[in-house]
Structure 1
């Protein structure tokens, strides 16, 4: 039984990454967004955003944002 669990979640880091991915997908769906469009938008835009120094920039990328609602329905 333990071996099957280890194959499914080989590491704590992998489990955490899965949690983040599933949370983003379910949050997008809960806000009426197309999850694929939302994730694509995030993956295209966030790498070029200086949100480490200016975390308030992330507000524009939350699922409830008007612009996100327009672009990711």
Structure 2
């Protein structure tokens, strides 16, 4: 689904945990601006996501890049 110039994906119908869903959405570039071809400008990277979170007006502190990098890693740590 495209809304406000960004692509949004429905939740999966399986029993994926939150980290699996996060990885799927990040890889698809969900929520990123669309390019001229109508597709997301690419997948989310830890750097892009940390920058986007830090630009949210209500988030004055931002987020540490290392924290976001942990979200993308295969580990048992949550998001």
Q: Same fold (TM over 0.5)?
A: no
Could you state the TM-score of these two structures normalised by the residue count of structure 2?
A: 0.27
Q: Which has the higher strand share?
A: 2
Q: Which has the higher helix share?
A: 1
Give the structure with higher Rg (CA).
1
Higher relative contact order (CA 8 A, sep 6+): 1
